[in-house]
């Protein structure tokens, strides 16, 4: 029993000391991070209609890792409303994050929104001779992205469209006479 305990403590100390001796993770910014109107889109959008589809956060990471951790928190007026609940990946370094449509429909409000996102790349460090594995972070990054939710556009009444068309035709006819 003493031998097993001593071996476990030695392995723990070795791993702890090895982990402590590692340099801190590199801070590497996203290659890109901005809002888009749909998953798999890379067209940047800065304002969304309150009646429009759920906004999506697009992030392009500066590489890939065997263990990539990615999250986002969505704020309105400095108060966290929710964390993203859907993530769609395209390859190892491009991701789209958004709340579910039901969450967005419940939480959406007019105003300036902010999405804080972060990632970390991880790896596993093993002690000698197949010892205990320890998760280590090799790189991290974060970004804060703003977007606006605006009122729905007010459609013109049919009468206004007809009146505008009639004025245009009248003006055309008067120009032709002169």
**Residue-range domains of the chain with CATH:** 24-173 (2.60.40.1220)
Better-predicted residue by pLDDT, 16 or 133: 133
Q: Give me the half-sphere count of Cα atoms (radius 13 Å) on the Cβ side of residue 20.
A: 6
Structure token digits, residue 36: 């888009």
Q: Where are the alpha helices (DSSP H) in the chain?
A: 2-21, 101-107, 158-177
The answer to whether the predicted template modeling score (pTM) of the entire model surpasses 0.75 is no
Better-predicted residue by pLDDT, 136 or 50: 50
pLDDT tens column, 80-108: 999 998 999 998 899 999 999 999 999 99
Beta carbons within 8 Å of 149's beta carbon, 6+ residues apart:
47, 48, 49, 50, 55, 108, 109, 110, 111, 113
Q: Where are the beta strands (DSSP E) in 18-99?
A: 26-27, 32-36, 47-49, 56-60, 67-76, 79-83, 86-90, 94-98
Q: What is the pLDDT of residue 11?
A: 35
Averaged pLDDT for residues 144-161: 82
Q: Are 35 and 44 in contact (CB under 8 A)?
A: yes
pLDDT tens column, 27-43: 999 999 999 999 999 99
Q: What is the pLDDT of residue 7?
A: 34
Could you give the percent of the chain with pLDDT greater than 90?
58
Structure token digits, residue 53: 């589809």
What's the gap between Cα 115 and its chain centre? 7
Q: What is the pLDDT of residue 17?
A: 43
**β-pair partners for 140:** 27, 120
> Considering only CA atoms, which of 54, 53, 55, 49 is closest in space to residue 154?
49
Beta carbons within 8 Å of 20's beta carbon, 6+ residues apart:
none
């Amino acid at each position: 029993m003493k031998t097993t305990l001593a071996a476990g403590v030695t392995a723990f100390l070795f791993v702890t000391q090895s982990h402590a001796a590692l340099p801190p993770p590199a801070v590497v910014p996203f290659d890109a991070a901005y809002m888009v109107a749909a998953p798999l889109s890379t067209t940047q959008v800065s304002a969304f209609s309150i009646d429009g589809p759920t906004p999506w956060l697009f992030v392009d990471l500066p590489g890939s890792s065997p263990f990539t951790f990615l999250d986002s928190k969505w704020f309105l007026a400095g108060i966290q409303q929710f964390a993203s609940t859907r993530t769609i990946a395209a390859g190892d370094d491009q991701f789209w994050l958004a709340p579910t449509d039901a969450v967005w429909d419940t939480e959406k409000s007019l105003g300036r929104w902010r999405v804080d996102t972060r990632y970390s790349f991880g790896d596993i460090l093993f002690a000698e001779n197949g010892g205990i594995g320890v998760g280590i972070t090799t790189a991290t990054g974060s970004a804060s992205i703003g977007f606006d939710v605006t009122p729905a556009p007010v459609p013109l009444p049919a009468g206004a469209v007809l009146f505008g068309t009639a004025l245009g035709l009248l003006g055309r006819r008067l120009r032709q006479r002169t």
